[in-house]
Structure 1
Amino acid sequence: MGILCDYFRAPDAEAVRRVLELTEGSSPVIGEDAAFDGIDAKGIEPSVVLGQLIAAIEQAPFDPARQDTAVWPLGPEPGPGMIPDDDDPWSTGPWVFELDPRTCAALAGVADTDALAIATRWARAEELHPARPETLREVLDELSALARRAREADERVYCWICL
């Protein structure tokens, strides 16, 4: 089973929720009627795999303390150790998270000249094994460009996730 992850930029969480309510949670970046500027980054989930990328950018250990903000589904997110019912949207998804501002800043700050070296460090992450740095560089380039467009438009970056 793969994890689908679409990263996109939007003005705010309320705009994201409005679109998701209209589309019943469908990806807001896929298809002719895409609501937001975004990219498909299958398997690059925000908490660990993207966190490993940020560690590679910063040349620092992976920091699990970075906190993304839940935007979707509506309703309270289950607390630590709580398991939602099978029919609870927190159990079934899709889920959308607003990326931590530090994550967006790190992505937007990647220089083209550093991208291959960063992708090479990122490829060493256990969660990506085996991965080719050249392939990961393409993803890094897309994520960095998206983060820069978001910064220029004073928008936030979000991740839509579906199993």
Structure 2
Amino acid sequence: MKTDLSLRPYWAGDWRAVRPRAELQVFSDLTIHHGLLDRAPSPDMVRARTLCRNGRPIASAGLFLQRAHLAEAWAMFAEPDPRATRMVVTAIREQLAEAVRDWSLTRIEASCLADFPAGQRFLTFLGFAPYAEARRRAGPHTEILMEYLP
């Protein structure tokens, strides 16, 4: 059976439809953003895309404008799929370039669980780097903080 993968703009509440597995939520804690993710995203505050398989959301990724010149990146996947990951990487790269230009960003931050090396490799592949090996506690987990400097 042929599967149809399509990328579309993020719709309010897509993160709930994706239902990310904890080990596939690349940028870790989105709880502070659920309010933004449940509303229709404003292009002034959020740049995001959702990947669908046969019309069902299986991945979402995007950027939140935190304050002037600073944004936070996030991504989540419902299931591992190399083709889907490639499509999301392409979408994130486009969003990074658009946001840097449109929002005059000087820094984009992301956090990743310290015990999630695949997520750290994903961020590194996108051009993020750990800064000062910064770590913080996020509930029972430890996160590694990473940054992208345009």
TM-score, scaled to structure 2 = 0.31
Structure of greater Rg: 1
Structure number with the higher strand fraction is 2
